[in-house]
Amino acid sequence: MSESTKNSSMNSDLHHPSAETVDAALIKDYETLYRRSITDREGFWAEEASKLDWFQKWDKVLDDSKKPFFKWFSGGKINIIQNAIDRHLKTWRRNKLAIIWEGEPGDVKTFSYHALNREVSKFANVLKSMGVKKGEIVTIYMPQIPELMFAMLACAKIGAAHSVVYGGFSVEALAARIEDAKSRVVVTADGGWRRGKINDLKSIANDAIKRSPTVEVCICVRRTGHDVYMENDRDFWYHDLMGLPIANPNCPTEVMDSEDMLFILYTSGTTGKPKGLLHTHGGYAVYTSTTHRYVFDIKDEDRWWCAADPGWITGHSYMVYSPLINGATLMMYEGAPNHPYPNRWWQIVEKYGINILYTSPTAIRGLMRFGEAWPKRHDLSSLRLLGSVGEPINPEAWRWYHRVIGQERCPIMDTWWQTETGGFMVTPLPITPLKPGSATKPFFGIEIGVVDEHGKEVKRGEEGKLVIKSPWPGMARTIYGDADRYVETYWKEYEKQGWYKAGDSARIDEDGYLWVIGRIDDVIKVSGYRLGTAEIESALITHPAVSEAAAIGLPHEVKGNAIHAYVILRSKFTPGKELEEELKEQVVKEIGPIARPEAITFMDVLPKTRSGKIMRRVLKARAQGLNEGDISTLEE
């Protein structure tokens, strides 16, 4: 997005919701409730928490005695499954559809809350029979199939934690995550369908498990039916286990402390080692369900589709947990949006009567390329609200989404948040007048600021660093196994003020609307996926030809950003097209296809500081023909 588009869109072009939308909205007055949620934060969250089922009520809403290690609802006993499944079984929702799933080849499965409970309970007993204990972390590496959800929910039910690794990740990324979580059990599948091809997850899992001495058991779902290697005494077919008497459909839901670990989810940061953000049963359940209900105005009759992958936080919070807690019917689709044709998503919206669609700017831009004729072939009149997440949505994509998909009837909820925040932080409500490209205003209980490096608020309209000034129930509690890194990464810079550093730059305009610009650390958002420059660089350096590497993100029309890598070769090697391809493949093999560099440039030297740090900022400026800024520390 160019600067001029950004600025010109900042204040003009206000989209007011229709009277019908406002009439139907759960929240009619944002300002009043927002003020109350700030002046009486604990009261606000206690009221929201009371909407959930607890085995035992909490003693304290917020315990800030060990800042920044905040605790929420301490003393409370809860299990997220008691809320996502068990409580619905006692009501008419027992027979309501919980999940509608469509595979890429067109196969369909549906599960009522009753059926979901059966599957989850059976698999929970299977996990128990494999010796899975409370507190243990099970790694899940699966395509978008219902068993992925069953596995996550079954872990939570018995008090084990899950670590879902995105199915697009490769051997190295998977092995590093299994190792960090010390998983004994891995749940995977023989593959998934993607654009008519099999994504061979089991082979990748086999290679990763070879490097992971902690793994004793691997459970494999048969999805595609192609031949895979199964190791005797270690690997078991999911359907075999689910057919045994151990897969009893009755399984008690474990009573957990509010602050007990629900899952860890790895995300990229500034160093090569991925960090496992830890989320808990109580606060996360309260936060995700509250944000989902108010922002998307969830009604019992709604069909909700979060077209994300469960391997990322969006999938965890808004595809699996919050829709189930809110008793919604959710849609899950296995494959690519443009397979076999670019109308696949619109066909799904029409076929199932989807009311709310939540997706990413990159998906919108990707589908926009195929033109309006594809969505126009379908009846999209069931849609009521739209959502966007993952990166700033450029006004052009916003307008297309609004006009062509939403038919100017559906407001777009542009939700800003992160793996670390657990749920929406800055977001419109259906009643909010919208400005294309702005995530608008903070959610209830959330206080934000845009500040300079000293923590001084910048002037309205000026760019600064985005901070969050007070705790919220959905916040990650720590980085698994590395509390120091948690403090260092998020809380050190504004220690005096006690603020959370988001790692994004942003502006707040004169109406108080937030405009997120992008990451200011060494994180690149490629198609909304979060990748660390260090991960890409270390993947490149594992190739024998490479002595040094630097990776940066440069603007890309569809992906938002694309990876550009700069490498210095070892003396025996010469630059060339073939080697360039080989290096790109190396990154795919190590991390996954999403990390494939767009271009590789061979260099003799890299711009470095005198202390030897690569100045990626300088590479970026040069590549874009921009001013290099302050280069007084440049050694070159």
CB of 504 to ligand PRX, least distance (A): 5
| Contact (CB, 8 A) for 176 and 208 | no
Q: Which residue number is nearest to ligand PRX in terms of Cβ?
A: 419
> Judged by CB, which is closer to ligand PRX: 79, or 268?
268
Smallest gap, in angstroms, from Cβ of residue 113 to ligand PRX? Answer: 27
**CA dist., res. 392 & res. 630, Å (int):** 27
- 507 or 530: CB nearest ligand PRX: 530
Task: Give the C-alpha separation, 9 to 585, whole Å.
Answer: 39
* Shortest distance (Å) from residue 528 CB to ligand PRX: 7
Report in angstroms how near the CB of residue 535 gets to ligand PRX at its nearest. 14
Using CB under 6 A, which of the segments 36-44, 80-88, 364-372, 498-506 binds ligand PRX? Answer: 498-506
Q: Cα separation of 364 and 218, whole Å?
A: 36
Task: Give the interface segment with ligand PRX, choosing from 282-290, 397-405, 518-526, 552-560 (CB under 6 A).
Answer: 518-526
Least distance from C-beta 9 to ligand PRX, angstroms? 14
CB of 418 or CB of 533, closer to ligand PRX: 418
Query: Applying CB under 6 A, which of residues 36, 94, 519, 596 lies at the interface with ligand PRX?
Result: 519
CB of 91 to ligand PRX, least distance (A): 31
Helix (H, G, I), strand (E, B) or coil at 564: strand
- Single residue of 258, 419, 533, 538 touching ligand PRX by CB under 6 A: 419
Q: Which is nearer to ligand PRX, 253 or 419 (CB)?
A: 419
- The answer to whether residues 447 and 38 touch, using CB atoms and an 8 Å cutoff, is yes
Cβ closest to ligand PRX, residue 86 vs residue 504: 504
> Which CB sits closer to ligand PRX, 87 or 469?
469
70/358 with CB nearer ligand PRX: 358
Cα end-to-end distance, the chain, whole Å: 31
Among the listed ranges 17-25, 85-93, 122-130, 513-521, the one in contact with ligand PRX (CB under 6 A) is 513-521
**Dist. CA 26–CA 293, nearest whole Å:** 8
Q: Does the footprint of ligand PRX cover residue 530 (CB under 6 A)?
A: yes
> Is beta strand 546-556 parallel, antiparallel or unpaired with respect to 529-532?
unpaired
Cβ of residue 424: shortest distance to ligand PRX, in angstroms? Answer: 8
Task: Specify whether the CB–CB gap between 522 and 534 falls below 8 A.
Answer: yes
Shortest Å, Cβ 412 to ligand PRX: 10
The number of angstroms, rounded, from the C-alpha of 582 to the middle of its chain's C-alpha atoms is 30
Report how many residues bind ligand PRX under the rule CB under 6 A: 23
Minimum gap (Å) between residue 228 Cβ and ligand PRX: 30
Binding test (CB under 6 A) with ligand PRX, winner from 119, 414, 522, 535 = 414
Least Å distance between CB 615 and ligand PRX? 21
Among 367, 516, 594, 614, binds ligand PRX (CB under 6 A): 516
What does the DSSP 8-state code read for residue 401? I
Q: Which residues contact 524 (CB under 8 A, 6 or more apart)?
A: 530, 531, 532, 533, 536, 551, 552, 553, 561, 563
**Using a CB cutoff of 8 Å and minimum separation of 24, what contacts does 557-561 make?**
557/365, 558/362, 558/365, 558/366, 558/369, 558/527, 559/362, 559/526, 559/527, 560/361, 560/362, 560/365, 560/391, 560/392, 560/525, 560/526, 560/527, 560/528, 561/524, 561/525, 561/526
Closer of 523 and 539 to ligand PRX (Cβ): 523
Question: Looking at beta carbons only, is 302 or 391 nearer to ligand PRX?
Answer: 391
Based on CB atoms, which residue is closest to ligand PRX, 143 or 392?
392
The residue (of 324 and 439) whose beta carbon lies closer to ligand PRX is 439
Question: Which residue type is seen at 349?
Answer: V
Return the SS3 of 15.
Answer: strand
Least Å distance, CB 391 to ligand PRX, is: 5
Spatial distance between the Cα atoms of 229 and 246, rounded to a whole number of angstroms: 25
Q: Which regions of 311-411 does DSSP assign to beta strands (E)?
A: 329-333, 356-359, 385-388
- Smaller CB separation from ligand PRX, 151 or 439: 439
Residues 309-328 that bind ligand PRX (CB under 6 A): 313-314
What DSSP string runs through 432-476? SPB-TT--BSBPTT--EEEE-TTSPBPPTT--EEEEE-S--TTS-
Written in H, E and C, the secondary structure of 346-372 is HHHHHHHCCCEEEECHHHHHHHHCCCC
Q: How far is the CB of 505 from ligand PRX (least distance, A)?
A: 9
What residues from 429 to 458 belong to the interface with ligand PRX (CB under 6 A)? 439
Which stretch in 197-205, 290-298, 512-520, 588-596 sits in contact with ligand PRX by CB under 6 A? Answer: 512-520
Residue 417 binds ligand PRX, judged by CB under 6 A: yes
| DSSP-assigned letter for residue 499 | P
Cα–Cα distance measured from residue 282 to residue 49, given in angstroms and rounded to the nearest whole number: 9
CA–CA gap between residue 175 and residue 446 (Å, rounded): 36
Could you tell me the smallest distance in angstroms from the CB atom of residue 361 to ligand PRX? 8
169 binds ligand PRX (CB under 6 A): no
Q: Which 376-395 residues touch ligand PRX, going by CB under 6 A? A: 388-392
* 16-45 footprint of ligand PRX as x/- string (CB under 6 A): ------------------------------
C-alpha 553/C-alpha 522 separation (Å) is: 9
Long-range CB contacts (< 8 A, 24+ apart) of 45-53? 45/72, 45/286, 45/445, 45/473, 48/286, 48/290, 49/73, 49/76, 49/282, 49/286, 49/473, 51/289, 51/290, 52/78, 52/83, 52/285, 52/286, 52/289, 52/325, 53/78, 53/82, 53/83, 53/86, 53/87
Give the amino acid at 590.
E
CB of 72 to ligand PRX, least distance (A): 20
What x/- string results for residues 267 through 306 when contact with ligand PRX is judged by CB under 6 A? x---------------------------------------
* In the complex, least distance from residue 422 CB atom to ligand PRX, rounded to whole angstroms: 9
Footprint of ligand PRX (CB under 6 A): 267, 313-314, 388-392, 414-419, 439, 502-504, 516, 518-519, 525, 530
